[in-house]
Structure 1
């Protein structure tokens, strides 16, 4: 029997039992009926649900199988396509490799052919160049030989011609009427020949002139020739082993000696190089027995090595840029108005007076050199910016109106050296410098690197110290501003010492003893006054040259002060103290205040004025005292003029 039949039969039996036991309960019977109906209906429902679920599951299984079949088919198709693509790519790569190899073989073959062709071409070109170079060298050698032969011919002809004139021509058959014309002919012949021959034969020609006493000699102008305008470039004059060449009173004026060399030569009787071009000239072992004069000379990059100057050397208004003096001795030296920028004195000795004036010597070097202690040396109006004075003795030397900014004076002995009259030593270096009696007057040392202990034995006057501090003279710069010079009672005449009369001179008014009291103790015996009813005026010139360093800084101010007095009544402004620049561009006035006194006692009031001085107004000023009309009862005394550093940096 099927299970559901058994279940149904069992359910029926239980239901009958329950109905029998509770037949009397109507409600219970009804409930059981509903239960029975529900259970009866649930079986088909479950079967239906089971059938639907089974169908759905079968559909899902079929769909899954279909998708798997489709994916398998797609994978198989993609694999076939991939295999086909790989096969095609491999075939393409094989074809490309084969083509590349073919091209490479073709290129290598072409390159090899090109290299062979280029090698052949290079060989041909090199052969051609060698042939051309050989031909050019041969032509050059031929030209040199021809040129040398030409120079030799010209030189030989010159020697023969001059020798004939000097030695072979009979005296009674001379072609020249006098010696002067003969020398003039030799000069023309010499100048023309010098322009047409080379430097080697120029040197030989110069020696020929020397040996025949034809070189220009100041002491024998009629028997020697002038070489003005001569071309003596690149000559080399070297004394032979048998003895030095000795040039007497040699005059080499207004000629070209560029790149010339003089070795072991002696110059006697004074040598003159004025107006000549001596750029790159070299004097080696030369001895100048007498003066050497050079005016308007170009000595650019010239060198004097192991030279001795026994007398005075004077070079003026010349260009000596980069010139060098090495291991040379000077008896006296005077350089005036020269440009000696970046020049040098190395291991030199200055035995006599040495003067450098009005020159540019920026960047010059003095190294291991010595100035004689008992001679006076001077640098006057010289620009020495960025110069070097190292490892040397600088004695008895005065620097004035010169600029030594950024100059290095390290390891140098300064003995009795005067830095005076507007010297600039800004940012200069004094490292390990030995000071002996060194004085600084009117010197700007701003930023200088110097040990302050060096100043212990030095005199400092109107100096700007390295830290910017001013050591300025604060004294009264007016002379006899207190009217006490030649002041006596009774006075015999009016003497305005130190003052100059302009209109009517003021007088020295001697105070009556009854007019003085304890408040007048600083006034003295006399004052300035005007005894007539007309205008009185006097003036005094004040020179501020010793303060120009401070004036140039635009930080200098003056204070003018005076005592104004009256024994009666003095109206405002009857006395004026004018400060006027020398050229009149600056004027400023200090006037008396109103003063009223009684009992014939002189009442005094002090008044002052402070103002900044501009460098545009120069360093000369007038102090003018003016008494206007009706100032007979007005007095002025103790007039003073002081200078100091201003604390205000703008003009009032």
Structure 2
């Protein structure tokens, strides 16, 4: 919007002199009145200002006084409250001090009472301990007296025995009058010895044993007429330690059916045949002993027995014995035979086995062969474990050569860091969940064994009829029934059969039937028979150069022990040009109950089957793959 500007027009005019004078007087009067008004106003303003200042000062002073009064009142109230608080705190503190003092006094009184009770109880305990100590001292004195009396009794019995036996042995006139022959003398010494052994302590038993040894009276298989029998003797806790002057040498020692529990033999030498048959040798210890000849332990009890640093130079025979927890440590065996023994939780630690070692029909679960050596000698038989339970056994760091495991169970066995050379695991041996970690192999055979769940490197091993760690089979099918393109290992009747080029034909089938038979055993496949995934099949090629009626020939497999039978028959075959026409037939089945034994496979050419041929008969065992759930 445009702005409008106004201009005042100045019009010039001219005033008269009188008018100017009148105007000047009027202006002077007005000015005088204004000055008078200003003076009056100023005077009134000063007074008003003084009055206002006075009023303001009064009000301000009043406010200051009121504030001071309020402040004084507040200060007085605060002082009063503080005094009350101090008074209350003082009263509470006095009460607390009084309570503490009272509690302290009560505590002192209680402690004093408890101390008095403790002193009284201590005095009572001291009195009781004194009584008990007095009783113990009295009991110890009585026991010592009894021990001295018992020891004196033992010594008297032992001395009497020594004197009596010495008289019998070395006083000839006495012997002539007392004994008619040497047999009666030995019988008398035996009776006296057995009675004395039951009546003395272990220390004197040991001395008596040495006395018998020094007088050549210990049972000697090579000199039965001049030594005594110790059958039924009590030789518990004896300690036989060779002196520094030389080893004790026991010749042909025969310790039959006696008690050697907790006995100890240290640095002794056993020459001739040593026999512990029927004896109790539990918890006994043989340390640093040498057995120069055959050692026999039949039906002996060697529970927790220990053989430490011992040398067995000839055959060691253990049969029907109990060796639970027995320990063989750093010992050597030239020939060891364990038959029907129980050595569960036992150990052969750091031992050496040479010649032939046999472990047959024995329980050896949780046994340890750690750091042991099975030496190889081509001139000698190998080491053999047959029908042995070796579950949870420890073969770590073992050096094993020329060794065979047969019909044995080694479930969870540990062969870690083992050195295996020419070792055979054969004939229904179970190595389920076994461990061969970091083991070295050379010519190791697994035949008819189970390796399910085992940790093993199968790169350099030989496998035949094995269930592998992953559950699959390594099976040699041809071993059941081999088609060798030659008529071998079959029963033929030359008068009514002819053989073609690897096929069979009956020459007289128009007149009578022809038979061929063969017996089959499944023993080599026993590890697969226990597997629910095993199937069997019979197959054959049926042929004809003219015409062969259906079911003119058949292959029958039957069990020699049960009523099991399976039959494979030929299909209809016709050849128009005179050449042989072949047709295959196959039958699959499953054996539920048959685990072992023989089967009979029979090929039959019925009457009127002259033109029928048969070839390539196969009997196979195979693994059925796992079926996935639908």
TM-score class, shorter: 0.7 to 0.9
Alignment correspondent of 2:83: none
SS of 2:221's equivalent in the other structure is: coil
**CA-atom RMSD in angstroms:** 3.3
Are residues 1:499 and 2:508 paired? no
In structure 1, C-alpha distance between the alignment counterparts of 2:422 and 2:252, rounded to whole Å: 38
SS of 1:642's partner is strand
Alpha-carbon distance in structure 2 between the residues aligned to 1:439 and 1:474: 18
Contact 2:503 2:614 survives alignment (8 Å): no
CA change 1:506–1:315 in 2 (3 A) is: farther
Q: Does 1:393 align with 2:399?
A: yes
Shift of 1:559: 1.9
How far 1:536 moved relative to its partner?
Answer: 4.9
Is the 8 Å Cα contact of residues 504 and 613 (structure 2) preserved in structure 1?
A: no
- Whether 2:277 is the aligned partner of 1:274: answer yes
Provide the rounded CA distance (Å) in 1 between the counterparts of 2:482 and 2:104.
112
Counterparts in 2 of 1:394 and 1:613: CA distance versus 1, 3 Å? same
Counterparts of residues 418-437 of structure 1 (less than 5 Å): 418-437=424-443
User: Matched residue of 1:124: which SS?
Assistant: helix
Deviation, structure 1 residue 167:
1.3
Distance 1:535 1:229, change over 3 A: farther
After superposition, the C-alpha distances for 1:213-237 in whole angstroms (9 at most, x for unaligned) are 1110001111111111111111000
C-alpha displacement of 1:354? 1.8
Q: Partner residue of 1:116? A: 119
Q: Distance in 1 between matches of 2:173 and 2:532?
A: 82
Q: Check if 1:382 corresponds to 2:357.
A: no
Give the one of 402, 412, 417 matched to 1:411. 417
TM-score, L = length of structure 2: 0.77
The alpha-carbon distance between structure 1 residues 182 and 644, as it changes in their structure 2 partners (threshold 3 A), is same
The structure 2 residue matched to 1:145, chosen from 144, 148, 160, is 148
Partner Cα distance (2:543, 2:556) in 1: 18
Matched residue, 1:446: 452
Q: 1:372 to 1:111 in 2, by over 3 A?
A: closer
Q: CA deviation at 1:466?
A: 2.6
Q: Which residue does 1:338 correspond to in 2?
A: 341
- Alpha-carbon contact 2:506-2:514 (below 8 Å) kept: no
Task: Go from structure 1 to structure 2 and tell me whether the alpha carbon gap of 1:379 and 1:620 turns closer, same or farther (over 3 Å shift).
Answer: same
Change (3 A) 1:108 1:243: closer
Q: Distance in 1 between matches of 2:139 and 2:513?
A: 99
**Selected match of 2:165 from 136, 139, 162:** 162
Contact 2:505 2:612 in 1 (8 A): no
1:234 aligns to 2:237 (yes or no): yes
**Residue equivalent to 2:39:** none
Does residue 509 (structure 1) correspond to residue 498 (structure 2)? The answer is yes
Q: Aligned partners of 1:476, 1:284: CA distance in 2, in Å? A: 52
Residue 134 of structure 1, CA deviation: 0.7
Q: Could you tell me how far 1:440 is from its partner in structure 2? A: 2.1
Q: Show the counterpart of 2:51.
A: none
Once the 2 structures are TM-superposed, how far is the Cα of residue 282 of structure 1 from its aligned partner? Answer: 0.9
Q: Which residue of structure 1 aligns with residue 560 of structure 2?
A: 582
1:646 is displaced (CA, Å) by 1.7
Matched, 1:291 2:294: yes
Distance 1:111 1:445, change over 3 A: same
Alignment of 1:521-536 (within 5 A): 524=502, 526-528=504-506, 531=509, 533-534=511-512, 536=514
Secondary structure in structure 1 of the residue aligned to 2:464:
strand
SS of the aligned residue for 2:154 comes to: helix
- What number of residue pairs does the alignment pair up? 538
SS in 2 for 1:364: coil
Task: Structure 2: state its 5+ residue gaps.
Answer: 1-91
Separation (CA, whole Å) in 1 of partners of 2:589 and 2:450: 23
For residue 362 of structure 2, what is the aligned residue in structure 1? 359
- Please identify, of 624-633 and 407-416, the stretch whose mean Cα deviation from structure 2 is larger: 624-633
CA distance in 2 between partners of 1:552 and 1:228 (Å): 49
Write the distance in 2 (CA, Å) between the matches of 1:279 and 1:117: 54
Give the equivalent residue in structure 2 for 1:9. Answer: none
In structure 2, relative to structure 1, the CA distance for the partners of 1:205 and 1:476 (3 Å cut) is closer
1:306 aligns with 2:297: no
SS at match of 1:256: coil
Q: CA 1:274–1:532 in structure 2 vs 1: closer, same or farther (change >3 Å)? A: farther
Deviation at 1:178, TM superposition (A): 1.7
The offset of 1:118, in angstroms, is 1.8
Residue of structure 1 equivalent to 2:542: 564
Counterpart for residue 599 of structure 2: 621
CA drift of 1:570 comes to 4.9
Match of 2:187 in 1: 184
Equivalent pair of 1:585/1:617 in contact (CA under 8 Å): no
Q: CA–CA distance in 2 between the matches of 1:228 and 1:431?
A: 50
Q: Closer, same or farther in 2 for the Cα pair 1:426/1:565, shift >3 Å?
A: same
> Would you say 1:245 and 2:248 are equivalent positions?
yes
**What's the offset of the Cα at 1:629?**
5.7
SS in 2 for 1:125: helix
Q: State the Cα deviation string for residues 110-157 of structure 1 (Å, max 9, x = none).
A: 544433332232122111111111111111111111111111121112
Deviation at 1:452, TM superposition (A): 4.0
The equivalences for 1:71-90 within 5 A come to none
Distance 2:496 2:323 in 1: 60
Query: Deviation string for 1:461-506 (max 9, x for gaps)?
Result: 2223333332211226335786x42xxxxxxxxxxx53358xx999
Q: Which residue of 1 aligns with 2:225?
A: 222
Check whether the contact 2:530–2:595 (CA below 8 A) recurs between aligned residues.
no
Unaligned runs of 5+ in 1: 1-88, 486-496, 512-522
